[in-house]
């Protein structure tokens, strides 16, 4: 049975990630994540993608999580970001505001894990026709830096 699936930074769309003056993408070893994308500086922070739910168990509830940590240059992350899940037709499954600044109570710390998670929301594949879209967006005018992104995980939370 499918329990968890991880999408690397190269498997999703990270706005400006192909510009080395804004993001530095590198491989990671000895980690469950294969890559990391380090935010050098951007004004428009967006991480989005789609996932085909056909491989998921229909009667299981899943959570979609973004994994981050901060480096010592973290700044500009004080404003809220919006995370959302939606269907292929654009219908919103869930949407909420989160804070990405260091120490935010929106981050989930798991035992033995160095990365912090932000939950975008939960969904059940039985109510979805194949693709689900996910989006994290902070388009405030602040220049942001120091956020390190490891990937997105789709994880079973109940059966």
* pLDDT digit string, tens, across residues 86-116: 998 889 999 999 999 999 999 999 888 889 9
Q: What is the pLDDT of residues 16-38, one digit of tens each?
A: 999 999 999 999 988 889 999 99
Cβ-based neighbours of 66, under 8 Å, separated by 6 or more: 47, 83, 117, 118, 120, 136, 149, 151, 152
pTM of the model: 0.94
CATH for 136: 2.60.120.260
pLDDT the model gives residue 126: 86
| Domains in the chain, number | 1
Give the span between the Cα atoms of 120 and 96, in whole angstroms: 8
Residue 28's domain comprises 4-158
pLDDT the model gives residue 108: 96
For residues 149 and 77, the answer to whether their CB atoms sit within 8 Å is no
Give the span between the Cα atoms of 103 and 67, in whole angstroms: 14
């Amino acid at each position: 049975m499918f329990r968890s699936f991880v999408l690397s930074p190269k498997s999703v769309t990270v706005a400006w990630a192909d510009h080395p003056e804004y993001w530095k993408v590198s491989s990671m070893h000895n980690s469950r994540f294969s890559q990391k994308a380090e935010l050098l500086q951007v004004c428009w922070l967006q991480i989005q993608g789609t996932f085909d739910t056909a491989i998921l168990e229909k009667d299981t509830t899943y959570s979609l999580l973004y994994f981050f940590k901060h480096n010592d240059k973290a700044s500009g992350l004080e404003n809220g970001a919006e995370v959302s899940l939606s269907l292929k037709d654009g219908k919103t499954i869930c949407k909420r505001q989160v804070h990405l600044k260091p120490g935010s109570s929106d981050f989930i710390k798991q035992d033995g894990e160095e990365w912090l998670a932000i939950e975008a929301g939960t969904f059940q594949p039985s109510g979805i026709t194949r693709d689900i879209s996910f989006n994290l967006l902070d388009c405030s005018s602040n220049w942001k830096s120091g956020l390190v992104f490891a990937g997105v995980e789709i994880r079973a939370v109940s059966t």
